[in-house]
Amino acid sequence: GLGNLAPKFVEAGAKANATTVAKIAARVESLVKSDGAYRVEKIQKATNTGDAVTFRTFAERWTSGELARVYPDHVPVKSSVSDDIERLQKHVYPRVKDVPLATFTREHADHVMTQLPVTLRRATRRHVAQLINRVLNLAVFTGAIASNPLPRGWLPKAPKAESVGKESLLPSEEAKLLAGRNAAGETV
């Protein structure tokens, strides 16, 4: 039945060009009859019209607000989208931008995480992991992939609130900082 064909359609659609996507959509529509047109239209809107839906092209649909427009009840517009774009461009895209969603694995996600600078705060590392996971969850939701390859519990643990921002200065750094101030604390 259709249940056995759905993963094959999703996999083929993720690698397909616009013509092939149209053929797949027509076949799915013919199989699911009357309510199929709505579902097929939604999937087509969220699917790349180029040759393959890559991690980057799909993530850019999210950060551009396209997914929020297509799925307004399920994908909210993010207020911190500029931070997300910066983290994706700096840490994620250089490692996995051209990986097709259909072949994205946990190993790809783990590779991104192992390539993060060791100097990044735990909270930033978690943000990067959350972005990868969110893109994959959205891809599942839209039908671009059948399932998220990341297991439950893959996200790094969140740092404890009291440990964030409690870095201290070395005595030499403190001396340099205070060197330009007088006894009243005013800058000289």
Question: Over the stretch 125-173, which tens digit does the pLDDT of each residue have?
Answer: 999 999 999 999 999 999 999 999 999 999 988 877 654 455 566 667 6
Identity of the residue numbered 76: P
Report how far residue 140's alpha carbon sits from residue 188's, in angstroms, rounded to the nearest whole number: 59
Residue 107: CB atoms within 10 Å: 8
**Of the candidate ranges 98-102, 119-123, 137-141, 161-165, the one whose mean pLDDT is the lowest:** 161-165
Structure tokens at 179: 């060197």
pLDDT surpassing 60 at residue 41:
no
pLDDT surpassing 70 at residue 24:
no
**Whole-prediction pTM:** 0.60
Report how far residue 11's alpha carbon sits from residue 101's, in angstroms, rounded to the nearest whole number: 9
